[in-house]
Amino acid sequence: MKINISNLSEGVHEYQFEENPSTIELDERFSKPVLVQVELEKRRRQLFLTGHIKTSGRFACDRCCDDFGKDIGIDYRMTYVYDMNDAGDTDKDELTVIQTSTNEIDIDEDVREYTLLAVPLKLLCRENCAGLCSTCGANLNKETCSCLKEDIDPDLVGKKLKKIVNNN
């Protein structure tokens, strides 16, 4: 996904891209094309990019291990400058210094990184996923297991932990 910036007039320019996930090196979890909408504002010594990324993938639930589909969407910004003096107080994570001879901006790596950052750390097939039985491994979303469930007394656990810590 390259944007030609040579001879680009000052002002706002809009671009749309559709890319295969493997082309930008996203792993096999991402199943649908990556859609990217970009607004690029060119000023005399700076380029301000605002991007919106949309795709979806198949992930394994962290509680029940079932596969599920999830839409991924994220907005990101990037500022391109020809000289660090033109950066102002721009966040360093959103800043790229380019040469005055640069003819195009390649956003593939930014799109890949921001897409991966948009994947939640805890992947759940649904918010109230019951998970797996810790004894028999049954998927508690689909079946009820017959394992004995012991009620744990938190006071008793606390007393036993104190005893272990105090070496008694």
pLDDT tens per residue, range 14-33: 999 999 999 999 999 998 99
What's the mean pLDDT in 153-167?
70
Pairing of strands 11-19, 67-81: unpaired
Identify the CA nearest to 107 among candidates 42, 16, 11, 27. 16
Check residue 14 and give its pLDDT. Answer: 96
pTM: 0.77
Query: Is residue 103 scored above 60 in pLDDT?
Result: yes
More confident residue, 127 or 101: 127
Q: How many CB atoms lie within 10 A of CB 79?
A: 18
Residue pLDDT, tens place only, 115-124: 999 999 999 9
> What is the percent of the chain with per-residue pLDDT over 70, rounded to a whole number?
87
**What is the pLDDT, as a whole number, of residue 131?**
92
Closest CA to 79 of 63, 66, 98: 98
In degrees, to the nearest 5, what angle opens at C-alpha 149 toward C-alphas 148 and 151?
140
Q: Label residue 37 left, alpha or beta by phi (over 0 means left) and psi (-120 to 50 means alpha).
A: beta
Which are the contacts of 61, defined by CB distance < 8 A and separation ≥ 6?
A: 67, 68, 123, 124, 125, 129
Single-letter code of the amino acid located at 51: G
Q: Which of 43-47, 68-72, 92-96, 132-136 has the lowest mean pLDDT?
A: 92-96
| pLDDT of 87 | 64
Looking at residue 154, its pLDDT comes to 65
pLDDT at 126: 93
Cα three-residue angle 6-82-52, rounded to 5 degrees: 70
The structure tokens listed for 77 are 């910004």
CB distance 38 to 12 below 8 Å: no
Strand partners, 72: 55
pLDDT category of residue 71 using cuts at 50, 70 and 90: very high
